[in-house]
Every structure is written in structure tokens, then in C-alpha cells.
Structure 1
Amino acid sequence: MKAFQVKAPLDYRIADVEAPQAAPGEVLVKVAFAGICGSDMHIIHGDNAFVRFPRITGHEFAGVVEAVGEGVENVDIGERVCVDPVVSCGRCYPCRIGRPNVCTAMQVIGVHRDGGFEEHVSVPAANLHRLPAHLSLDIAALVEPYSIAANVLDRMQPEPGDRLLVYGAGVIGLTVLQMARARGIEEVIVSDVIDERLATARELGASHTLHGSRDDVEAEIMRLTEGEGVPLIADAACVPALLPQMLRLASAAGRIGLLGFNPTPSDLVQLEVIKKELTLVGSRLNNRKFPEVLELLASGALDGAALVSHRLPFDEMPSAIEMLDHHPERARKVLIEIGA
């Protein structure tokens, strides 16, 4: 069986591996499409502290049920599914209060255990989500990145009429933009330093775009908000040095959603936080957002196809990694066709 295996940092290839079997309580999925994520790139570079090598990566994927393990009920062979990568214990404090995405014993498919960049993968039956009849398998592979956007927006608790500022117009920034628009947030401002990404943000409904290197972002935000600042800020750029600016641009009672795993310290001015009573929230993975995302994709409220810049065969995945490493401005979401 073919799999994309990362044996060590910067040591990756399409390899022949032993095909998995459906473990008890699990389902064997024949993978059709899988998306390359920034988290996959961090694993390849050795920047993910959670991964153990060798690892078959991939946590954004969809396919068809090929076999069911012992004890699995209500799952039929041939069903089209996507897979939530968050595997939680159900017993620890976060699980008990309904936040399994920060389970203290969590495993992430494609990080802690082998993932979707292989022809077949065994996954817990509880993590399967059936696809609506008219939703294609390639678009279904995008449910996971949209679930990241749904999660950070929930963590920020939008109010009617709130403006949103999104730092970063890469894939996650664009999913936040689309999800915010689908949920009724009318004014979304997007900042980035790559013109092509800003053009895509405008196509997807950004009300204003700002170039972080050429524009005076702070002055423009204050002009657009008549000096009030922005109630909602989503950090999809994940650059720690931007936090002081976010604190300045947030309105009183504003909420800032942080998505980055960068270990570099950020300067945090307590005065900015306290005088405006700001809320800073972290957002990790997704907390049961797959059903909402599937519904929005099926209804057309989210335009998954607009997110995809490349569809490549499995054998070309190493070339796709090289492109994302050296020319990230050329790509949005790169989908790999594995067994469609």
C-alpha cells in the first residue's frame, strides 16, 4: 500500500507500507482526497512537538468505508465519509465539560497516529461523518479546515453587528472569512502581505483588505471603525509580534482569537487588556463542528471550490511539498487525489 511517510524532519517520500486492518471499534476508510495543511508542513520541518517519527501525516481527508471492525454498528461498507481527526478520551476534565478538542490524552489523526495520506486508514467509528448525497469527496476533504474557523469564531462569541478583522489570508484566514460571512458577519476586514491572497479575500467577500507592509493598518482600522476599534480579531497569521497591534486595534470589550503554535513569546501590555477588558482566547482544532460545516458546504453557503488552487495525484505530493515550501504565494489549498 502507498503512503506519504515522514521518517524524520525533511526526510519524506511516497513509501510502500503494510496495509492497516480495521481495529476493534474502528473503520477502514479507502481515502479519496486529502488536503495538505500548514500543520503537515510543520511536521515535515520538525517543528511539531507532538509528533513521533516515522509518521504518515494527513488530517484533512474524505473517502469510502471499506471494512468495519469488531463492535462497530450502524456503519455500512460503501458509505462516503469524512473524518474528524480529534480522538479524545471522554474522561478527563476538558472532556467532562464538553471540550474534547483539548482532551489531556488527545490523539490527532495524522499527528499522534497515522493519518490520511495513505490509500487506506483505520479510524475510530465515532469520528466518521456521513456526507450529504450531493457533496463531492474532494470538497468533503475541506471540512476540517473549515471546522477550525467555526471553532475560533465560537470561542470569540460574536454579537450581532460585530466587525471582524482577520490577520492572514492563507487557507485558515480564508476559511475564517467564509465562515464569518456564512454566519452573518457582514463586515470582515482582512490583512496580509501577499497581494494574491488579498485578491482572493476580496473575491470571497472581504469588505476591506489591507496590505500589512504598504498600508498603515492601525490608521486604516481606526478610520474604518471611526476610532472605536474592532470587536473581533482572528489571528490566522500566527505571528507573535503582531499581538501588541491586535491589543491596540481591539475595541473595548473586544475578543481576540489566537490560532498559532509559535513558541516565541509575545509582548502583552496588561494596561491594554485591562483598560478595555479584552478577552484573549486560544482555539485548537475543533469542538464537534463537522456537522455544521457539512451543512454549510452542502447548502452552498461555503464555497469550498474557491479554496482549492491545486488538485494533484498522489505520486506528485513531494513536488507539492516543495512548492508550498518555496512558493507558498502560488497556492491556497492543495488537494491530493489518493484513491478517487
Structure 2
Amino acid sequence: MKAARFHGRKDIRVEDVPEPGVRPGTVKIDVAWSGICGTDLHEYLEGPIFVPHPGHPHPLTGEEPPVTLGHEFSGTVSEIGEGVEGFSVGDAVVVEPFFVCGRCAPCRAGNYNVCVDMGFIGLAGGGGGLAEKVVVDARWVHAVGDVPLDQAALIEPLSVAHHAVARSGAQAGDVAVVGGAGPIGLLVAAVLKGLGVTTVLVELTRARKEKALSTGVADHVLDPSRDDVKARVLELTGGVGADTAFECAGVDPVLDLCLDVVKPVSVVVNVSIWGHPATVDMTKLVNKEIDLRGIIGYRRDHPETIELVRSGRIDLAPFITGRIALDDLVEQGFTTLVEHKDTAVKIIVHP
């Protein structure tokens, strides 16, 4: 079968690999659609990050490059391993793409997303969604019912957004600033809007500003190249400042802006994956008693996230701006998102 394999920085190849076999406790999935994530872009440009380094196999998968990419994916169940209940062949599903040890203190406390040896399917090994088929442990598989499979590929990043909003403590009536209107930033805004939070999206690129407005996830869209963002947020909040802010770009100016726009004794959530150490103005953080919180992935967020989509409270269709074949992954996928991000928001791949 065909699979997109990470060999090294700026070296991703679509290759023929053996089809994985189903094992006891696992489910085989025919992949329908797989999203290209910002994390995949970081790996392509700056990796390996979550991908194991050559010569240092991941402790849970035992794999090192080349590994198959793709952790945002949907598909249909094609085979069920021994001992698995609750699924039938043909079920539409998504995957919570984790490898965890189950033994460390975070795992025992239920915080499996911060397992000391945590890895992601599609980054740490174990196959991935940028392939025709994948086999995963049944515990990570979630049925999506009648959600269209192209939209279902976005449930994984929507779960990231759901987890970020939960970590923020945002409530109806709050004002939140979202720094960066890439796929994750737009989805964070969508979850916030669903809670009744006033959303202020900060973004430079035309396509993403337009998407924020056309999808209705943003009450206000500010361009830092033209707007005095801090002054506008103070104006919108009666001089108080935002209740919370979300860093969704992975660049220092956006993190600094988040610290500027929130009110004292508030929360800033870092959602993005950074390709370099961040610079934090600790004076701003200390003087305003800001809580700076990180997130990685999600933790028991998928069921509620799926219900947000199934119930129609969040429509994922407008966020998809491109559909490509696996053979076109680098040229029409990665290159477009790196060099022409002003024309694209979310590109999904059909293996």
C-alpha cells in the first residue's frame, strides 16, 4: 500500500509499504481523509520533533525514521481484531492518535496525554493516516455516525481546540483573543463561540481573515499590521482587557501580544507547537499575575467534540479549503501551506 514517510527534514516520500495486519485488541481502518496538521509542517521544516531521532527509537513503538505520517484522519472499519467489541465492519470512525505506557504517574492519574513516554500515531510510528490503511488499538477508536468523513478528519484538531478552551476556563460572556487564524486558531474560536464567548481573532493573512469572518467564528478580526490590537481590545472590553487569550501561531510576537491584551489575573493558553524556544516577557506575566498554561493534544475530549459536530453546533465543512491525492502531498500540500498560506487554511488528503 502507499504511505507518506518522513525520512528527514524536507524529505517526505510516498512509498509502497506492507499493509499492516490486524492484531488482538485492534481495529483496521481504511483511511478516507487525513488532514495536514501544523505539527506535520513543523516536522517537515524543522524536524524531527515528535518523530524519533535517527538512532533513537521511540520507547513505545520501537520505531525511528522513516515513519508514516498523518495523525488527523477518518475512515471506515475494515477488519476487527480478536476481543474487540462495539464496532462493526463499515463503521465510520476517527482515531485519538496516542501511544501511552499506562504505567507512569500521569497515566495512572488519568492524564494520559502527558505520559512520560507519550507518542502520536502518525509521528512516533505505528503507521498513520497518510496511508491507505492503518491498524490501531481499539481504545483509541471513536465512531462518528453520520458525520461526513471529509469533515470527520477535522475532529482531531477540533479536539485540540476543545481541550484548549477547557484548560482556559472560559465562560459565556467572556471576551477571548485568539492569536493566529490557522486551522487550530479558527477551531478554538469555533468552540469559544459555541460557549457564548465573544471572540477577537488576530491574523495577518487575507484568506484566514476572510475565513474567520465567513464562518462566523470571530466577532472581531484584527490585523496587527494595521490595527493597534491592544488598544482595540481595551476599547472592546471597556478598558479592562480580555478574560483569556490563546496563542495559536508559535511565534514570539503573538505570545507577547497575548500577554498584553489580557486583564490582570487572567489566563493565556499556549496551543501551538513551537519549532524553537519561546521568549516570554516575565515582567508582564508577573505584574499582571497571568496564568500561562500549555496543552498537548486532548484528554477524553473526543466524545464531546464529536457530539458538537453531530449535533450541528459546529460545522467543519467551511474550514476545508483543499482536497488532494496522496501522491500530491508535498507539492500541493506542504508547499502550498508553507509558501502560499495566504490562499489555504486546511488541506485534506485522500490516500
| TM bin (shorter chain) | over 0.9
Distance, in Å, in 2 between the alignment partners of 1:244 and 1:43 is: 24
> Which letter does structure 2 place at the counterpart of 1:29?
I
The equivalent residue for 2:309 is 297
Q: Does 1:86 align with 2:94?
A: no
Q: Percent identity?
A: 35
- The Cα shift of 1:256 comes to 0.3
Q: Once superposed, which parts of structure 1, at least 4 consecutive aligned residues long, lie more than 4 Å away?
A: none
Which of 174, 190, 214 does residue 203 from structure 1 map onto?
214
Q: TM-score if structure 2 supplies the norm length?
A: 0.91
Distance, in Å, in 1 between the alignment partners of 2:211 and 2:278 is: 31
Query: Is contact 1:86-1:109 (8 Å) kept?
Result: yes
Query: Is contact 2:323-2:348 (8 Å) kept?
Result: yes
The equivalent residue for 1:160 is 172
The alignment covers a number of residue pairs equal to 335
SS of 2:267 mapped into structure 1? strand
Query: Is contact 1:139-1:305 (8 Å) kept?
Result: yes
Query: Is contact 1:195-1:211 (8 Å) kept?
Result: no
Q: TM-score if structure 1 supplies the norm length?
A: 0.94
Give unpaired runs (5+ residues) of structure 2. Answer: 53-64
Distance, in Å, in 1 between the alignment partners of 2:78 and 2:17 is: 18
238-247 or 17-26: bigger deviation: 238-247
- The Cα shift of 1:276 comes to 2.8
> Which letter does structure 2 place at the counterpart of 1:128?
V
Q: Which deviations, in whole Å up to 9, do the C-alpha atoms of 1:69-114 show, x marking residues without a partner? A: 2332333222211111123223222222222111112121111112
Q: Which deviations, in whole Å up to 9, do the C-alpha atoms of 1:157-199 show, x marking residues without a partner? A: 11331111000011111001111111222x1000011122112
> Which letter does structure 1 place at the counterpart of 2:262?
A
Q: Does 1:194 align with 2:205?
A: yes
Q: Which deviations, in whole Å up to 9, do the C-alpha atoms of 1:229-256 show, x marking residues without a partner? A: 1111011112123333322221122110
Which of 248, 256, 278 does residue 290 from structure 2 map onto?
278
Query: Is contact 2:32-2:73 (8 Å) kept?
Result: yes
Query: Is contact 2:181-2:248 (8 Å) kept?
Result: yes
Which of 133, 139, 142 does residue 154 from structure 2 map onto?
142
Which of 137, 140, 164 does residue 124 from structure 1 map onto?
137
The equivalent residue for 2:55 is none
Distance, in Å, in 1 between the alignment partners of 2:144 and 2:113 is: 22
Distance, in Å, in 2 between the alignment partners of 1:74 and 1:208 is: 44
SS of 1:335 mapped into structure 2? strand
**Equivalent residues in 2 for 1:1-340 (5 A)?**
1-52=1-52, 53-113=65-125, 114-132=127-145, 134-185=146-197, 187-205=198-216, 206-262=218-274, 263-270=276-283, 272-319=284-331, 320-338=333-351
- The Cα shift of 1:2 comes to 0.9
> Which letter does structure 2 place at the counterpart of 1:201?
A
> Which letter does structure 2 place at the counterpart of 1:45?
L
162-171 or 106-115: bigger deviation: 106-115
SS of 2:342 mapped into structure 1? helix
Give unpaired runs (5+ residues) of structure 1. Answer: none
After superposition, the Cα gap between the structure-2 partners of 1:273 and 1:100, relative to the gap in structure 1 and judged at 3 Å, is same
- The Cα shift of 1:146 comes to 0.3
SS of 1:202 mapped into structure 2? helix
- The Cα shift of 1:139 comes to 1.0
- The Cα shift of 1:325 comes to 2.2
> Which letter does structure 2 place at the counterpart of 1:256?
V
SS of 2:147 mapped into structure 1? coil
Distance, in Å, in 1 between the alignment partners of 2:168 and 2:12 is: 37
Distance, in Å, in 2 between the alignment partners of 1:200 and 1:28 is: 35
Distance, in Å, in 1 between the alignment partners of 2:46 and 2:22 is: 29
47-56 or 57-66: bigger deviation: 47-56
Distance, in Å, in 2 between the alignment partners of 1:176 and 1:149 is: 5
- The Cα shift of 1:269 comes to 2.5
- The Cα shift of 1:50 comes to 2.5
